[in-house]
Amino acid sequence: MDEIVTGEAVVLDLPYARFPTRMLAHLIDLVLQVVVLGVVSIAALAGAATASLDSASLSAVLVTSFVVVIVGYPVAFETLSRGRTIGKLALGLRVVADDGGPERFRQALVRALAGAVECWLLLGVPALIAAVISTRGKRLGDIFAGTFVIRERAPRPAGAAYPAAGKGAGSGLPPMDPMLRGWAAKLDLSALPEPVAAAAASYLSRYWQLNAPFRDQLGQQLAADIAARVTPPPPPGLPPAAYLQAVLAERRDRELARWQAASTAPPVTIVPVAPPSPGAQPAVGPVTLPPPRDGGFAPPV
């Protein structure tokens, strides 16, 4: 695991990929690139024979094909899929920036150009040496581009469970603990602003990615902030993460019920009223308001 501090001052524990796993992913990409390069080369040779190209033109076509396949393949896939090629996707790997953010096109291009030299021309020897020396398993392309490779499908720590309120927080908000439903039904959520609720939801969604000491501190801060805006207070001994989850789950359930009620309400029929004729008198005469008393505002009767 490697500790990363993002631009929002959030500490993440990201498991970096080991060199054997990266090598296997690279072999998968290598086989695909060789197949594509062979097909392109055969097509270029057939086209050269048909068009009667000389040796210089044929060499230019082959070199261009080599560059497009060897450099364009990783650049296109890593840019469009945010750091994953087919080999990395198969093994659950992803390229990220040094700050934990997504890989950019410039970084993908630098990695691909360096990879053409260290992995193709030099048979991967510089990449192996750099990965052994680097604490994050970086090859030269990662050092130049400011990236490293992480394992997206890293196993969760043994015995880990979502604190007292459900399992996992990575895919949506888990159901509320049934023991808290009676208390949650009495919550007054009218003073809970959307930014605070969004911050709590983001915290729960990244619960197992946060560094443990920072995770506990941030949970306490968010729970205290929400408890100051929401009544009644949480039951004694309720962990911060379970409290946040219960509040957000109740908020979600109420919004869903309100939406369902609005969607099933009968439509309102508006009956048009014909305008009065030009000579008709109004049905109701003018309303005379009493004068204000003591110079203050007097609402109409």
For 17-56, how does the pLDDT look when each residue is reduced to its tens digit (9 = 90+)?
A: 888 899 999 999 999 999 988 888 888 778 777 776 677 7
276 in a domain, yes or no?
Answer: no
List 95's β-bridge partners, or say none.
Answer: 149
Residue 20 confidence (pLDDT): 87
- Measured distance CA(240)–CA(219) in Å, rounded: 6
Q: What is d(CA 241, CA 64) in angstroms, rounded to the nearest whole number?
A: 55
Considering the domain architecture, whether residues 142 and 191 belong to the same structural domain is answered as no
Looking at the DSSP assignment, which residues form a beta bridge with residue 14? Answer: 2
Range ranked top by mean pLDDT from 111-115, 206-210, 253-257: 111-115
Q: Are residues 229 and 99 in the same domain?
A: no
Claim to verify: residue 136 and residue 79 sit in the same structural domain: yes
Let me know whether 139 and 192 are in one domain: no
The answer, yes or no, to whether residue 282 has pLDDT greater than 50, is: yes
For position 78, what pLDDT does the model report? 93
Residues 21 and 78 both lie in one domain: yes
- Burial class from Cβ neighbours inside 10 Å (0-12, 13-18, 19+) for residue 154 reads middle
On whether residue 76 sits in a domain, the answer given is yes
Share of the chain above pLDDT 70, in %: 74
Residues 146 and 182 both lie in one domain: no
Q: Among 153-157, 170-174, 226-230, which range has the highest average pLDDT?
A: 226-230
Q: What is the mean pLDDT of residues 100-114?
A: 90
Label residue 216 by pLDDT band (50, 70, 90).
confident
Are residues 84 and 222 located together in one domain of the fold? no
pTM for the whole thing? Answer: 0.52
pLDDT at 143 over 50: yes
Confidence of residue 108 (pLDDT cuts 50, 70, 90): very high
Distance CA 131, CA 283 (A): 90
**Same domain for 113 and 227:** no
Q: 163 in a domain, yes or no?
A: no
Does residue 289 lie within any of the structural domains? Answer: no
In the chain, what percentage of residues exceed pLDDT 90? 27
Judgement on whether residues 11 and 100 belong to the same structural domain of the protein: yes
110 touches 145 (CB < 8 A):
yes
The answer to whether the CB of 204 falls within 8 A of the CB of 244 is yes
Say if residue 213 is in the same domain as residue 256. Answer: yes
Complete DSSP assignment for the chain: -EEEE-TTS-EEEE-BPPHHHHHHHHHHHHHHHHHHHHHHHHHHHHHHHHHT--HHHHHHHHHHHHHHHHHHHHHHHHHHTTS--HHHHHHTEEEEETTS-BPPHHHHHHHHHHHIIIIIISTTHHHHHHHHHSTT---HHHHHHTEEEEETTPPPPTT---TTT-S--SSSPPPPPGGGHHHHTT-B-TT--HHHHHHHHHHHHTGGGB-HHHHHHHHHHHHHHHHTTSBSPPPTT--HHHHHHHHHHHHHHHHHHHHHHHHHSPPPPPPP-PPPPTTPPPSS-PPPPPPPSTTS-----
Looking at residue 47, what is its pLDDT? 74
Provide the pLDDT for residue 44.
Answer: 75
Residue 89 lies in a domain: yes
- The top-scoring range by mean pLDDT among 2-16, 118-132, 274-288 is 118-132
Is the pLDDT at 136 greater than 80, yes or no?
A: yes
**pLDDT confidence tier of residue 144, bands split at 50, 70 and 90:** very high
Task: Kindly state whether residue 299 falls inside one of the protein's structural domains.
Answer: no
Least confident of 35-49, 100-114, 134-148: 35-49
Between the ranges 4-18, 146-160, 220-234, where is the mean pLDDT highest? 220-234
Do 7 and 70 have their domain in common?
A: yes
Cα 231 to its chain centre, rounded Å, is 31
Instruction: Give the residue, 2 or 57, on which the prediction is more confident.
Output: 57
For 58, the domain range is 2-151
Q: Say if residue 28 is in the same domain as residue 143.
A: yes
Q: How confident is the model at residue 180 (pLDDT cuts 50, 70, 90)?
A: confident
Number of domains in the chain: 2
Residue 282 lies in a domain: no
- Which is more confident, 225 or 47? 225
Average pLDDT over every residue of 260-283: 61
Is the residue at 157 inside a domain? no
Would you state the pLDDT for residue 265? Answer: 59
Residue predicted with more confidence, 283 or 275 = 275
